[in-house]
Amino acid sequence: EPEVTQTPSHQVTQMGQEVILRCVPISNHLYFYWYRQILGQKVEFLVSFYNNEISEKSEIFDDQFSVERPDGSNFTLKIRSTKLEDSAMYFCASRGGGGYEQYFGPGTRLTVT
């Protein structure tokens, strides 16, 4: 069964450093998302992406964040200058055009020290 994949599974970085989280959505999906989940808290929407542009972004998704689909398979989230409060699990999700259910990847645990 096709699935969303994410790399790395765990990333440790120092405050102020840039990180890039990578995702490979399900191959025939058209809509892509990033969510995050701070430990013990609820899953929060960051950004949605369709047709090579951002569809919607949350208040969390400020100028430090950017997304890109550099080729036909990868979808990346970049945090330019990480802060301690960016420590969270970051989930990529995708969905096809025929349904509204989103399928989540296994997540990248980002730890900012």
Partner 1 sequence: GQNIDQPTEMTATEGAIVQINCTYQTSGFNGLFWYQQHAGEAPTFLSYNVLDGLEEKGRFSSFLSRSKGYSYLLLKELQMKDSASYLCAVRGNTDKLIFGTGTRLQVFP
Q: Does 104 bind partner 1 (CB under 8 A)?
A: yes
Q: Does 65 bind partner 1 (CB under 8 A)?
A: no
Q: Does 106 bind partner 1 (CB under 8 A)?
A: yes
Q: What is the rounded CA–CA span in Å between residue 7 and residue 22?
A: 5
Q: Does 90 bind partner 1 (CB under 8 A)?
A: no
In the complex with partner 1, the residue whose CB is nearer, 48 or 82, is 48
Residues 6 or more apart whose Cβ sits within 8 Å of residue 43: 35, 36, 37, 91
- From candidates 75, 87, 94, 107, binder to partner 1 by CB under 8 A: 107
Minimum gap (Å) between residue 26 Cβ and partner 1 = 12
Of 13, 11, 22, 26, the closest CA to residue 78 belongs to 22
Minimum gap (Å) between residue 59 Cβ and partner 1 = 12
Minimum gap (Å) between residue 24 Cβ and partner 1 = 14
Copy the structure tokens of residue 12.
């440790």
In the complex with partner 1, the residue whose CB is nearer, 82 or 102, is 102
Cβ atoms of residues 91 and 35 within 8 Å:
yes
Q: Phi, psi (5° rounding) for residue 86?
A: -80, -5
